[in-house]
Amino acid sequence: MSMAKIALITGASAGIGHAAAELLLKSGYTVYSGARRVEKMRDLEPLGAKVLSLDVTVEASLKSAAETIIKNEGRLDILVNNAGFGAHGAVEDVPIQEARRQFEVNLFGLARLTQLVLPHMRAAGGGTIINISSIAGKISMPAGGWYHASKYALEAYSDALRLEVAQFGIKVVLIEPGPIRTEWDNTALVNLKKYSGSGVYAPLVRRLTEKFRAGYRKGAPGPEVVAEVILKALGSARPAARYPVPFKASIVIFLKWLLPDRVLDWVIRRVLGV
C-alpha cells in the first residue's frame, strides 16, 4: 500500500477541483479524481491521477467510489468535497425541483459521501475532510438565493461535523472562495437567464449580467489560489476551521459582520442598481 496520503476530490473535471488534483499530485499525494465528465480529467492521468466516474447525486456512484478506493488503498486520508453548481435565478422563478437538485449536489451528496468515508477514517485514527463552501455561504445576493441557501447550510453542517469527529482525530475544514475565474460562472449566468431572463425580474437579471460581464471578476485569481489554500490546510497540524480566499473574500465577510442588515442591504442594492 502507498505511503503517500490518499485523497479523493469530487468535481475534479474543472475549476477548483481540477486545480486541486493537479497541485496535490505534484506535491506527492495519491489522488483519486471524481466527476461525471471523465474525459475532462484525462489530462490528470499522466500526473498519476486515478480517475473515477462520480455523480454525487447517485447513491450507487458514491458507494462505488468509496469502495474502489478502500479496496485499492486500504484507507482514505483526505476527502475534498468540491462538486457543486449554482441554480441562479430569483427564488420565485427557480422551480422547486431545481432548488432540490441544488441541495442534492451542494449538500446531500457531499454529506452522503462523507458518511461513507467516515468509518474508514475513524478506523485509521484520523483524516481530513475539506468542504468547498463560498463567501456565498456568508452573504447573500439577489437572484442567487437557492445557491446561497445551500452554502449557508454547508457552513452549519460542517461546523457540527467538525465538533462531532474531532474526538476521532478527524479534521473538518471549510474553504470559502470569493470571486475566482472558473467555468462555474458561465453555468450560473445560463441558469440566471433561463429562469429569470423574462418576467418581472428580467430588469434585475440584465443589470446583474451587465455588472458581471463588466468586470465583477476582473482581476480575480484563477482556481490555483484555492488549490494552494487546500494544500496549506492539509499541511497544517492544526488547520483553521475556515479559510476565506482570496483576501477580498475576508473583507466581504468582515463587512457582513460589521454592518447592520439594513445598511448592508442598501450597499448591495446601490452597487447592483436594484
Inter-residue contact 209 to 215 (CB < 8 Å): no
Inter-residue contact 69 to 10 (CB < 8 Å): no
Complete edge-to-edge strand list for the sheet that includes strand 242-245? 50-53, 30-35, 6-10, 78-81, 127-132, 170-177, 242-245
**Active-site residue flag, 216:** no
Q: What are phi and psi of 74, to 5 degrees?
A: 85, -5
Select from 59, 160, 158 the least CA-distant residue to 104.
59
Side chain identity at residue 211, one-letter code: K
- What number of other Cβ atoms are within 10 A of residue 251's Cβ? 13
Cα separation of 213 and 181, whole Å?
Answer: 12
Please tell me which residue in 32, 147, 195, 243 is annotated as part of the active site.
147
Write down how long the chain is: 274
Could you give the C-alpha distances from 253 to 176, 217, 232, 263, 273, in angstroms and in order?
Answer: 10, 17, 21, 15, 21
The catalytic site residues sit at: 147
